[in-house]
Amino acid sequence: MDLHAIDSVLIPRDRADLSGLGPQDAVLAGGTWLMSEPQPGLRRLVDLTGMRWPDVVVGTGSLEVAATCSIERLINAPYPPHWRATALFGQCARALLASFKIWRTATVGGNICLGLPAGAMISLCAALDAELLVWRRDGTDERCAITEFVTEINETVLHPGDVLRAITFSSVALSQPTALRKIAYSALGRSGALVTGRLDGADIVLGVTAATRRPIVLRVPADAERAVQAAVAIPDAQFHTDAHGTAQWRRAVTAQLAREVTEELMGGRP
């Protein structure tokens, strides 16, 4: 879509070029959402690809993913073989009906910054306890979890002039067994509820997304009944209703998905 209100495009080369961003500036990476509808309140685009951040940096203790990394690149990049949880990269992207054609352009950071319940990369961050690095407008840095970053549907901690710089996954989380369950009204529909699980020692870490207004992470002992109890304890107000599911249905299926995920990670034991 042509954005007729845009007067200029800024291509920053370093962080100093990002100073002075305001409400009429839009940070651009892939632009798949930005270009999909009119943006009458914007006057300038700020193309972050000019920063040339490395897409993925594999370290001895972590994986750092640039906010400008495309979803396709994240899925297809080579990783250490013992990072078994990297299988979730593609699973999360497919679970929320992001087309492979969109993967080529849509970015990890852009998907997160939209703050939508059906954010595939939000689900991934919840699953793996990701740490998000935010460059604040005043020049300071802030690190937070995805549960702190996304505060409501389409709302995040970002203020005008702030930029999501990177997402970091620890090698410990990436090395742990994972499982994913999703459910939708139709076989090819967008997931109405999605639950991920990760076996962390004697605990199960459950990520609940799509069904809720913001990502929720639960840590429970590796026991199916405890997982169900934790899911049932999520407040009613956190579940939302839209064309892809009612809040009541989402609450019910989330508890069942939590059970299935936990049982898979426990090897099928009740």
Per-residue model confidence as pLDDT tens digits over 236-264: 999 999 999 999 999 999 999 999 999 99
Cα distance between residue 135 and residue 53, in whole Å: 14
C-beta neighbour count of 30 within 10 angstroms: 23
Helix (H, G, I), strand (E, B) or coil at 237: helix
Tens-place pLDDT, residues 142-161: 999 999 999 999 999 999 88
User: Dihedral (C-alpha) 164, 180, 56, 82: value to the nearest 10 degrees?
Assistant: 140
What strands lie across the sheet with 193-200, from one edge to the other? 178-183, 193-200, 203-209, 216-221
| The CATH fold of domain 177-267 | Enolase-like; domain 1 (3.30.390)
Quote the percentage of the chain above a pLDDT of 70: 96
pLDDT digits (tens, 9 = 90+) for 34-64: 777 787 888 888 899 999 999 999 999 999 9
Distance CA 162, CA 185 (A): 37
Confidence at 188, pLDDT banded by 50, 70, 90:
low
Place of tokens 């809720």: 212
Residue-range domain boundaries for the chain: 8-48, 56-172, 177-267
Is it true that 56-172 and 177-267 share their CATH fold? Answer: no
In CATH, what class is 56-172? alpha beta
**Hey, is 172 helix, strand or coil?**
helix
Contacts of 38 (CB under 8 A, 6+ apart): 1, 3, 5
Distance CA 158, CA 133 (A): 11
The pLDDT, as a whole number, for residue 28 is 85
Q: How far apart are CA 93 and CA 6, in angstroms?
A: 31
Predicted pLDDT at 97: 62
What backbone phi and psi angles, to 5 degrees, belong to 115?
65, 30
110: tokens are: 């852009």
> Are 3 and 39 spatial neighbours (Cβ–Cβ below 8 Å)?
yes
**pLDDT grade for 270, boundaries at 50, 70 and 90:** very low
Mean pLDDT for the chain overall: 92
> Exposure of 246 by Cβ count < 10 A (0-12 exposed, 13-18 middle, 19+ buried)?
middle
